[in-house]
Structure 1
């Protein structure tokens, strides 16, 4: 259960990060060779089934809070990234 909740949070943040360029060199990590240093979910990079986008920006609890905030934007028109603020 925890893995699926974390995966859902990661997917939400990943989709937002991809839509918000520019990404710079080193902010996207794809294939990494299986040299014995990869552990757990990181081994997916060796099989070519994983990509990390800005991996140091959203660790653990921050990832969950940010994902919840982004999901909230979907329910509130005019909120979130790419919206214009009207007024003062």
Structure 2
């Protein structure tokens, strides 16, 4: 092979390696994001002080009623507490 072709092949190999590394990094970041989202969900459920049976009933009712709000409405008292 000539010199130009060798240089191009080396550059291609280098870029392929960087792509592989970036894909691995992306997978790791996506996993971290999922773990954080899961933690937030668990914290939300715990803050509602629901046991697993109550949570199951709530989720089934939500699924059956498509227009149910995603989050339970907050009261003025909740808003006042969050501001302090």
With normalisation by structure 1, the TM-score equals 0.26
Return the structure number with greater helix share. Answer: 2
Which of the pair has the greater relative contact order for Cα pairs under 8 Å at 6+ separation? 1
Q: Which has the higher strand share?
A: 1
* Max Rg structure: 2
